[in-house]
């Protein structure tokens, strides 16, 4: 049977399993077993056992449960309340005023949670009632939350960057640092859009709150400062070479526990809930990674990646044309799968093509995350849209329409890092130096 026919059969089966509601991890395992049994002469049992074990028995994955636990601890603290009360006084004079709380709040919480949906849910739960009470339009409230929530995938410590780093066998520390400047760039783009919109639609903005003295602003931000200091210490220790990602994650957990204790939110129940939440999420991701590893090995035995890479090479696409095609492919795939599943499903096939085109895999990791971020706010399976629908009860497509400007801003960000790749690669290069 031709390799192309085998690929089409396996792809059809994968979509059949996913469409039937089978877990992503089980779907990956099933396709891998089917490919090995029916299209190769390899010994399926030993391959599955050794591949699944070796994909998880790696120190590269050690930071994953720790960073997730750090986010779970702070998620159960009063961080979202502190964020709103701490940021609002400083933003009241900017065009767009308190709408910027959504953007900056999501940026800060993204550095804690590493999750897009958790970021949108946490900040939205606090800001939506307050902004509505102040008289801000739902369209901008939901748009800024949906768009800014995607920062959870990019700003370190990003869970999806750990997954990509393990799949592509890259340094997690360098990937984390590569995500910093693109994350800051996105925050600036989002805040600029909000400011421009507010300037052009002054009649749709509520009146500004009365100004408060500088001392009161500082006092209001007092409880936010320790969290920002913790985040800075975690990322700074990785960048400075003082700590590995695993050590920095452990430090982050200890710091989060101390802050939670000092704020009075650390109880026996919240500690157990945090541990169980981190365990469930970590197990889910590891299960998906093991399934993806089995599928990757199965694909290697069938020869599909090799043939596909050769086919792409025959098309003689320029790197820019290849990236344009991959952008469309990732956006479409992201409409039906979550970000982690998109990454683990595609790396075995995509990375050989990317390497053959001479594209830096470190830069490509940031590019992939940005494109996957776009899929978080596109129907029918944009996870941020579902989160906001659950918080507000609004129509899913109305929320998607509100998020549309931020989709185009993410597309602009992809264009900017393509034209100026140093945005993603400069900091890791300095780190090496």
* DSSP string for residues in 194-247: HHHHHHHTGGGSPPPPPP--HHHHHHHTTTTHHHHHHHHHHHHHHHTTSS-HHH
CA atoms within 13 A on the CB side of 380: 2
pLDDT in tens, 272-309: 988 998 888 788 778 877 887 788 788 778 877 667 66
Residues 34-62 have a mean pLDDT of: 83
CA distance 81 to 169: 39
pLDDT category, 79, cuts 50, 70, 90? low
Identify which has the larger pLDDT, 351 or 1. Answer: 351
Residues 53-60 have a mean pLDDT of: 77
pLDDT above 70 covers a percentage of the chain that reads 91
Identify which has the larger pLDDT, 377 or 271. Answer: 271
pLDDT in tens, 93-112: 788 777 888 888 888 777 76
Q: Are 375 and 335 in contact (CB under 8 A)?
A: yes
Q: Are 120 and 106 in contact (CB under 8 A)?
A: yes
Please say if the pLDDT value at position 326 is more than 60. yes
CA distance 291 to 299: 12
165 CB-near residues (< 8 Å, 6+ apart): 60, 171, 172, 175, 365
Provide φ and ψ at 39, rounded to 5°.
-120, 5
Angle between helix axes 180-200 and 99-113 (nearest 10 degrees) is 170
pLDDT in tens, 405-420: 999 999 999 999 999 9
List the single range of 32-41, 46-55, 221-230 with lowest mean pLDDT: 221-230
Please say if the pLDDT value at position 125 is more than 90. no
pTM: 0.75
pLDDT of residue 213: 77
Please say if the pLDDT value at position 55 is more than 80. no
Identify which has the larger pLDDT, 348 or 277. Answer: 277
Which residue shows structure tokens 């093991």? 290
Whether the bond between 200 and the residue before it is cis, its omega within 30 degrees of 0, is no
pLDDT category, 114, cuts 50, 70, 90? low
Give the Cα-Cα-Cα angle 235, 237, 242 (nearest 5 degrees). Answer: 155
Identify which has the larger pLDDT, 173 or 296. Answer: 173
Burial category of 336 from C-beta neighbours within 10 Å (exposed 0-12, middle 13-18, buried 19 and up): middle
Do you know the residue count of the chain? 433
Give the Cα-Cα-Cα angle 73, 375, 298 (nearest 5 degrees). Answer: 90
CA distance 199 to 14: 48
Q: How far is CA 212 from CA 18, 141, 333, in A?
A: 54, 24, 48
Q: Are 307 and 4 in contact (CB under 8 A)?
A: yes
Alpha helices in 316-421 (DSSP H): 319-334, 339-356, 361-375, 383-392, 396-419
CA distance 26 to 32: 10
Question: Which residue in 340, 301, 383, 290 sits closest to 26, CA to CA?
Answer: 290
Question: Which residue in 349, 375, 351 sits closest to 362, CA to CA?
Answer: 351
Rounded to the nearest angstrom, the gap between the alpha carbon of residue 101 and the centroid of all alpha carbons in its chain is: 20
pLDDT of residue 338: 65
CA distance 70 to 73: 5
CA distance 156 to 173: 9
Residue 96 three-state SS = coil
Question: Long-range contacts of range 9-14, CB-CB < 8 Å, 24 or more positions apart?
Answer: 10/34, 10/35, 10/302, 10/304
CA distance 329 to 324: 9
Residues 318-345 have a mean pLDDT of: 78
pLDDT category, 15, cuts 50, 70, 90? confident
The pLDDT mean for the chain works out to: 81
């Amino acid at each position: 049977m031709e390799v192309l026919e085998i690929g089409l059969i396996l792809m059809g089966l994968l979509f059949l399993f996913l469409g039937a509601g089978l877990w992503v991890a089980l779907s990956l395992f099933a396709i891998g077993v089917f490919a090995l049994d029916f299209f190769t002469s390899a010994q399926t049992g030993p391959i599955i056992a050794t591949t699944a074990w070796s994909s998880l028995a790696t120190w590269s994955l050690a930071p994953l449960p720790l960073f997730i636990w750090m986010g779970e601890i702070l998620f159960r603290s009063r961080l979202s309340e502190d964020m709103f009360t701490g940021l609002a006084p400083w933003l009241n004079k900017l065009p767009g005023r308190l709408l910027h709380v959504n953007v900056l709040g999501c940026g800060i919480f993204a550095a804690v949670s590493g999750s897009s949906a958790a970021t949108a849910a946490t900040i939205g739960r606090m800001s939506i009632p307050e902004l509505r009470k102040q008289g801000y339009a739902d369209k901008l409230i939901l748009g800024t939350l949906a768009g800014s929530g995607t920062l959870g995938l990019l700003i370190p410590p990003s869970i999806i960057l750990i997954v990509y780093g393990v799949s592509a066998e890259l340094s997690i520390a360098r990937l984390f640092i590569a995500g910093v400047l693109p994350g800051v760039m996105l925050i600036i783009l989002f805040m600029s859009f909000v400011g421009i919109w507010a300037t052009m639609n002054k009649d749709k903005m509520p009146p500004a709150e009365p100004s408060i003295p500088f001392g009161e602003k500082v006092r209001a931000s007092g409880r936010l400062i320790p969290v920002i200091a913790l985040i800075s210490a975690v990322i700074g220790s990785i960048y400075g070479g003082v700590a590995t990602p695993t050590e920095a994650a452990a430090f982050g957990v200890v710091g989060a526990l101390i802050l939670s204790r000092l704020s009075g939110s650390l109880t026996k129940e919240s500690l157990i809930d945090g541990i169980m939440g981190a365990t469930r999420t970590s197990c889910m991701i590891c299960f998906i990674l093991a399934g993806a590893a089995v599928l990757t090995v199965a694909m290697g035995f069938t020869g599909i990646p090799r043939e596909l890479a050769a086919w792409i090479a025959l098309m003689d696409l320029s790197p820019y044309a290849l990236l344009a095609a991959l952008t469309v492919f990732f956006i479409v795939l992201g409409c039906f799968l979550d970000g982690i599943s998109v990454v683990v499903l595609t790396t075995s096939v995509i990375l050989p093509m990317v390497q053959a085109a001479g594209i830096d895999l470190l830069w490509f990791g940031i590019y992939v995350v940005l494109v996957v971020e776009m899929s978080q706010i596109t129907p029918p399976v944009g996870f941020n849209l579902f989160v906001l629908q659950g918080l507000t009860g609004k129509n899913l497509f109305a929320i998607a329409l509100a998020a549309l400007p931020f989709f185009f801003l993410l597309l602009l960000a992809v264009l900017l890092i393509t034209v100026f790749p140093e945005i993603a690669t400069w900091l890791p290069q300095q780190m090496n130096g």
